[in-house]
Structure 1
Amino acid sequence: MLHLVTLLLASGYVTLCSHIQEYHFIKEAKTWEEAQISCRNNYTDLATIGSHDDMKRLVNVTAASGMTEEIWIGLTETRVASWLWSVGETQSSHGVAEYTNWSIGPNSSHHCGGMRADGKWRSALCETPLPFVCQEEHFAIFTEGSSRVYIVLQEKSWREAQEYCRLNNTDLASVRNQTENQALQQTVFEKGSSLFLIWIGLFRDEWKWSDESDSSFRYWERSQPNDDGVCALYRPSDNKWYDRDCTSSKYFFCYSEKKVMRQIVRVEMKSNSSFDFSDSAVSKAILNQIQKRYDGVKLQWSVQPDGKIFHKK
């Protein structure tokens, strides 16, 4: 029997309002805790770097200052571990891996995660050489005909794989729900059916930001952290992060909130004919899904002149 599926196209507009972090380089040597107090008294807090874009701005501020010495940022070790996503800013709950698909519970001595051919996740030692999959940094959504991911068959450690992806303006792949997990599985293992386990962007760490942000973005030097201390700093000579003893006196970065940026974006969606875009519960659910992908950005639907959010196409 032949089954016909009618596809429904609809478009609407969503307004994005975002707060941009402005970084302030403080040329006063202080311990990490003293720097934290100073930032909280004069700005918002020690610097939080939540994305690749934040990191680029931090690098630019440092270059403009001419500083080459190590600089405190707001990251510190807490001994409370969480599984996070490498890409950071586009993940729900600020990068914490809420959706999981482990084959068995992750080993407590393993700090990196991969995907098997059946789509299940396995933890592994981060030094294990494995092939890996990268995704376009700002496009984690899988779309029909374009998965926006690519497979690298070279076997690398998790950190080497992450560095490879980032040098090519991408990041290790991430998924936020069963649909995306299945799409990634089919894309990767259809093209490399002999593969057993590949690195994805899952990692486990115990580091948290001073302002209590849950951002999972990290930019460690390949050998870091290596238990030199429980506070993080930025080293301008290689633009990487290192762990250090918190009692060392160093310059530091604070941040403050910059003006709100407002942007209206047109959104087009495709669904089967049973999908009712006029239902307020549907529009709310769609907005919630989009919101999860944008940390620090407040989203709202723009109501069009006829009182509707969506128009059928």
Structure 2
Amino acid sequence: MTKLAWIGLYRDKEQKWRWTGEELATNIQTWADGEPLDNETFAATYWHCDRKEWHGVRSDREIPFFCFNLMVDDVKKTWEEALEHCRETHTDLTSLNSETEQRLALSEIQHDHITERVWIGLRFFGDRWLWVNGDPLVYEAWPKGDQEHQCPLRKRCGALTKEGHWENWDCVEKLHFICY
């Protein structure tokens, strides 16, 4: 089954790919072979079984889209404080369920005034990492070769680094955070 959906990536007047927030889309590695074609101005995600690839799509084509609204808060909080704040003012701490969501979150935190890592809604409970909003943990972005997150003693809260990796971090540290 093939599904297309707009993801907020477009080609600007200088023929550079940008996210809708105007952030330059660098190091895109999820294009399908032969993509994008020269006459396509927007991009859509193509799902086929377990394969996720981006295909360029003409901007006049009507296809579904998904909305992933992220808010990076300017106040630093502990993980618990961030969770409470997000639940009171937005929906929850964000879960990142795909490479696309991960990239969208990264584009939001690439600012000098944002801490090197930000809290996300990932928490180690019992013997596994879980998203606090109940989403299944199907996508992971732990650094390759890093084993520290497998059975953390103190660092039981998840953070996203500006390099795009997840880290287990001490929950009492005060960091910026992402709500959705």
TM-score (norm 2): 0.57
Distance 1:22 1:251 in 2: 17
Distance 1:242 1:215 in 2: 15
Distance 1:211 1:17 in 2: 24
Secondary structure of the structure 1 residue equivalent to 2:108: helix
Distance 1:35 1:68 in 2: 14
Is 1:253 matched with 2:175?
no
Tell which has more relative contact order, 1 or 2 (C-alpha 8 A, sep 6+).
1
8 Å Cα contact 2:74-2:114 kept in structure 1: no
Residue 243 to residue 25, structure 1, CA distance change in 2 (3 Å): same
Distance 1:209 1:233 in 2: 12
Deviates more, 1:17-26 or 1:212-221: 17-26
Distance 1:67 1:38 in 2: 17
Distance 1:248 1:45 in 2: 19
**Counterpart in 2 of 1:239?**
164
Residue 208 to residue 18, structure 1, CA distance change in 2 (3 Å): farther
Q: Percent same amino acid at aligned positions?
A: 25
User: Which of 135, 152, 155 lines up with 1:213 in the alignment?
Assistant: 135
Distance 1:68 1:37 in 2: 19
TM-score (norm 1): 0.34
Distance 1:31 1:67 in 2: 15
Secondary structure of the structure 2 residue equivalent to 1:239: coil
1:72 Cα shift? 0.5
Unaligned ranges ≥5, structure 1: 1-15, 81-205, 256-313
Secondary structure of the structure 1 residue equivalent to 2:68: strand
Root-mean-square deviation over aligned CA pairs: 2.1
Aligned residues: 115
Distance 1:18 1:46 in 2: 22
Distance 1:34 1:68 in 2: 16
Deviations 1:110-168 (A, max 9, x none): xxxxxxxxxxxxxxxxxxxxxxxxxxxxxxxxxxxxxxxxxxxxxxxxxxxxxxxxxxx
Q: Which structure: larger Rg?
A: 1
Higher strand proportion (structure 1 or 2): 1
